[in-house]
Every structure is written in structure tokens, then in C-alpha cells.
């Protein structure tokens, strides 16, 4: 069944959809929240991927056979203009089996106003540290 | 001698000044091209540094005693709005002694219109690969 493309009324709505899609390995949601055009996505440690089709392919690859990750985020900087919003985000990525282990990833997410709504135009992520030792001090 | 603060008429001018300051280890230029406020700077592999004073301190630390690096950049994506510009940039960082060795760093640079001019508001860099093996195929 083909769903109608969602209209995201704010950058925050796109971001919520992005992390929901990431957590659920939901390619249908993921493919519909990117601008159809000159987008860039950097997965941790990898080369930048450019262009809508290549970015969607990379997420298809990530989602195929993957265990659903547990993703918690904290926005550490927000830069806002009329038609462009950027969030610097700390992502805590674990698995349901071992929720206190995993990686801390620092990502720059960029959203652009697009007609009536907002879409994602860039995601640049890099691993800052793994979380095993640190989580023990948080419990 | 104290220089007057420069006014950068475009995001591209700030970017040129940023990489010139980086290449020359010039703290005076570097400290005057950031927004005085809620800025973020991520050096490769490190935690995000927040706030103007902390960011300037991190560059002072990097520049102290450092050999001047050789930095070449290539813009791979440019996102532009009236008062915010973002460049995704591939940085090739080497040394004068070994110009074909070094690191390839992928960075997101963000510039904001600020009164009459433009200033840097975020720099998020991560190492993508070292360049030793690859450079041999480019010669």
C-alpha cells in the first residue's frame, strides 16, 4: 500500500520522524522525509553520500536485517532561520538487548522549508565514543 | 597591537578567513570570525565544545606549538538562506614536510549573518580517512 507523502509542519516534526524511522528501521518514512535533490548524508566513519537516491539506498542497506536500535537524542545547539534549521544533536544509540551499551554519536541535522512543509536536507554523523564504561557511572 | 574586528561581507569570506587562520595558526583572525555567543565546534574525534570562549581556547590549544598545516578544501554541498549558510566541506590536511600524507576530514561549517557581516557559528569536523595509501594513486 502506498501512503501519501507526509507534510511536516516544522523542522522538529521532521526530526521526530527521522529518529522514529531510524529506531523502527522504517524505510517508507525515511525515504519521504528527505528533500528530493541535492542532499548529503554522512554515516559515522563513512564517506559523504550525495543525492536523494544514494542516501535512500544507504538507509535501505542499514535497515536490511538490522536489529532495531534504541536511539535517544539530546539537542545541544539549534540554529534557526526562516527557511533553514540546524540542530546539533547528541545521539545515544544502543540495542534493546543491552540498553546501556552502545555509541554516542554527534550529528548535525539540517532541515529546509519546502513548499508547505519541512524536509531533511543533511545529516552528518560521527561517533564520539562508545558508551560501555561511561554508562556504569550513570546508573 | 590590536586590530579592528574585520567585517566579512559573505559566508565565503568567513570561510576563506577560517582556513587561512587554520593554515597559519593565526589565533587573532580565528577568534574574530566566530559569533560571540552560542557557538559549537567539534574537532575530529572529540566532544563538542560549546560557547565562544571555550571554542577560542580550543583553537589556542591546537595552535600552540603546532606545525602549520597544509589545508586544501573542496565544498561538496552548499545550503543557503538569507541569513544562514552551510557548507559541507572536504578538508585535505597535510604538513609542508609531507604534503601527500595526512587526513581527509569532512566538516560542516555554518555561517550566520550578523549585523552588517557574516560570522561562523558552527564547525563540526570528523576524520573520514588518512591519506597515505590513496595519495599514491593521485600522483
Domain coordinates in residue numbering, chain B: 11-138
What is the nearest CA distance from B5 to chain A, expressed in angstroms?
Answer: 23
Residue A31, C-beta contacts closer than 8 angstroms, at least 6 positions apart: A56, A59
Instruction: Please give the distance of CA A21 from its chain centroid, rounded to a whole number.
Output: 8
With 0-12 / 13-18 / 19 or more C-beta atoms within 10 angstroms meaning exposed / middle / buried, residue A106 is buried
Contact B126 A122 (CB under 8 A): no
- Which pLDDT does position B26 carry in this prediction? 96
Half-sphere exposure of B118 (CA within 13 A, CB side): 24
Which residues of chain B make contact with A38, given a CB cutoff of 8 A? 77
The rounded distance, in Å, linking the Cα atoms of B51 and A109 is 19
pTM for the whole structure: 0.85
**Computed over its alpha carbons, how large is the radius of gyration of chain A?**
15
- Sheet of strand A49-50, all strands in order from the earlier edge strand to the far edge: A49-50, A40-42, A117-130, A103-114, A84-95, A69-80
Quote the DSSP letter at residue A47.
-
Q: For A77, which of B79, B90, B122 is closest by C-beta distance? A: B122
Cell, residue A32: 519521504
User: Which H or E run contains B72?
Assistant: strand B69-80
Q: For B83, which of A46, A76, A81 is closest by C-beta distance? A: A81
The rounded distance, in Å, linking the Cα atoms of A82 and B65 is 42
Contact B84 A81 (CB under 8 A): yes
Tens digit of each residue's pLDDT (9 = 90 or more) over A21-80: 999 999 999 999 999 999 999 998 888 899 999 999 999 999 997 788 899 999 999 999
Contact B48 A86 (CB under 8 A): no
Tens digit of each residue's pLDDT (9 = 90 or more) over A110-127: 999 988 899 999 999 887
What chain B residue is nearest to A40 in terms of C-alpha separation?
A: B77
Closest among B101, B118, B98, B102 to B110, alpha carbons compared:
B118
What chain B residue is nearest to A46 in terms of C-alpha separation?
A: B128
Closest among A72, A88, A7, A39 to B109, alpha carbons compared:
A88
What is the nearest CA distance from B29 to chain A, expressed in angstroms?
Answer: 23
What chain B residue is nearest to A124 in terms of C-alpha separation?
A: B108
For strands A117-130 and A40-42, give the pairing. Answer: parallel
Statement: residue A139 has pLDDT above 50: no
Which residues of chain A make contact with B126, given a CB cutoff of 8 A? 42, 44-45, 124, 126
Mutation to test the B interface, candidates A35, A37, A38, A40, most B Cβ within 10 Å: A40
Phi, psi of A120 (to 5 degrees): -85, 140
Q: Domain A11-138 is in which class?
A: alpha beta
Q: For A121, which of B79, B83, B126 is closest by C-beta distance? A: B79
pLDDT tens track of chain B, all 139 residues?
A: 556 678 999 999 999 999 999 999 999 999 999 999 999 999 988 888 999 999 999 999 999 977 888 999 999 999 999 999 999 999 999 877 776 778 888 999 999 998 889 999 999 988 777 765 444 433 3
The rounded distance, in Å, linking the Cα atoms of A101 and A94 is 6
Q: What is the DSSP string of B74-132?
A: EEEEEEE-SSEEEEEEEEEEEESSSTT-SEEEEEEEEEEEETTEEEEEEEEEEEEEE-H
Which residues of chain A make contact with B47, given a CB cutoff of 8 A? 106, 128-129
- Which pLDDT does position B139 carry in this prediction? 33
Quote the DSSP letter at residue A3.
P
Amino acid at each position: 500500500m502506498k501512503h501519501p507523502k507526509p507534510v511536516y509542519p516544522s523542522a522538529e516534526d521532521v526530526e521526530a520522524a527521522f529518529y522514529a524511522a531510524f529506531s523502527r528501521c522504517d524505510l517508507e518514512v525515511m525515504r519521504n522525509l528527505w528533500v528530493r535533490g541535492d542532499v548529503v548524508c554522512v554515516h559515522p566513519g563513512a564517506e559523504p553520500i550525495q543525492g536523494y537516491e544514494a542516501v535512500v539506498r544507504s538507509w535501505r542497506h542499514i535497515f536490511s536485517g538490522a536489529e532495531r536500535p534504541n536511539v535517544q537524542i539530546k539537542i545541544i545547539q539549534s540554529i534557526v532561520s526562516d527557511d533553514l534549521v540546524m540542530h546539533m544533536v547528541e545521539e545515544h544509540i544502543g540495542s534493546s538487548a543491552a540498553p546501556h551499551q552502545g555509541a554516542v554519536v554527534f550529528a548535525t541535522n539540517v532541515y529546509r522549508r519546502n513548499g508547505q512543509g519541512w524536509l531533511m536536507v543533511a545529516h552528518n554523523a560521527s561517533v564520539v565514543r562508545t558508551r560501555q564504561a561511561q554508562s556504569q557511572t550513570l546508573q
